[in-house]
Amino acid sequence: MKTWLITGCSTGLGRSLAKAALQKGDNVVVTARDTKKLEEFEKDFPQTALTVRLDVTDLCSVAEAVKAAKERFGGIDVLVNNAGYGYRAAVEEGDPEDARRLFDTNFWGPVNLIKAVLPDMRAKKSGAVINISSIAALRTAPGSGYYAASKCALEGMTEGLYLETAPLGIKVMIVEPGAFRTDFAGRSLTQSKTAIGDYGETAGTRRIENDKTHGTQPGDPDKGAGLIIEAIEAEDTPLRLLLGRDAVKVAGAVLDNRKNEYDKWREFSSRSDF
């Protein structure tokens, strides 16, 4: 039996992950900023579910959540950094304070949790960290530059973490979902207050009032949760796990295009050496 700590469990993939882990018999520290949305977990799984209020941007809140996990279950075996949200804005439209808040949640939040759980994982030479990224880290759509940047930062940090902790017996996995039918493109999506007319045909088409994708996304969060659990428990856990046919298609196209561009400019790029 493992103990999971999962952030952002009020909706979407985090909620599905918490349910899936509990249904397989594991302990789960189910977290969100509003614990009223988590009441069903302790009702349905009174012995193995612990609901805890957690704001990933607050170091005191992080410490309290990790402490509660230790007191109830003895420690944390799997950390899932799922909490996050989207932000739409052309780069010129983006508000610096909005961008800082975005990075505080999508990047620094996971860093806060990772640093809180690693000492115990290092001591027992086992554990796993799962960071939920996005296919946006591979291909950035207009209007998603800031959001994609937060996920690129998360992936870069996670790849370093993977290399640092693999010799210590700690698994690390990046999950790159495509479009999943969650609240991500609905309640959780934010955008800049500024809208510049010249970006109407690019970033403007993806502003909340113009985006009709919510509720039509192909990804099933319950299926995605099951695949994440299966992958982290596999002997050959991948560093990066794509989720969804759309993610697989996008990743293939991005890699092909990058290789073609690198190859085209290979000789030119090599001319900078002594």
* Catalytic residue (one of 87, 146, 147, 199): 147
36 is annotated as an active-site residue: no
Does 133 qualify as catalytic in the annotation? yes
Query: What's the helix, strand, coil split of the chain in %, to 5?
Result: 55, 15, 30
Annotated active-site residue in 133, 134, 150, 192: 133
Token output for 87: 């932000």
Residues 6 or more apart from 105 whose CB is under 8 A from it? 56, 57, 83, 84, 85
Token pair for 8:
């952002």
The residues, ordered by sequence, that sit 6+ positions from 260 with a Cβ below 8 Å of its Cβ are none
The alpha-helical segments, DSSP class H, found in 125-238 are: 145-165, 221-232
Contact between 166 and 172 (Cβ < 8 Å): yes
Beta-carbon contacts of residue 54 (< 8 Å; ≥ 6 apart): 7, 31, 32, 33, 61, 62, 65, 83
Bridge-based pairing state of the strands 78-81 and 3-6: parallel
Q: How far is CA 158 from CA 36, 111, 130, 175, in A?
A: 31, 9, 9, 11
One-letter amino acid of 101: R
Q: Nearest 5°: CA angle at 218, between 188 and 56?
A: 30
Three-state secondary structure call for residue 150: helix
Q: Given phi > 0 = left and psi -120 to 50 = alpha, else beta, which region is 125?
A: left
- List 134, 151, 162, 192, catalytic entry: 151
Q: Which residues are catalytic?
A: 133, 147, 151
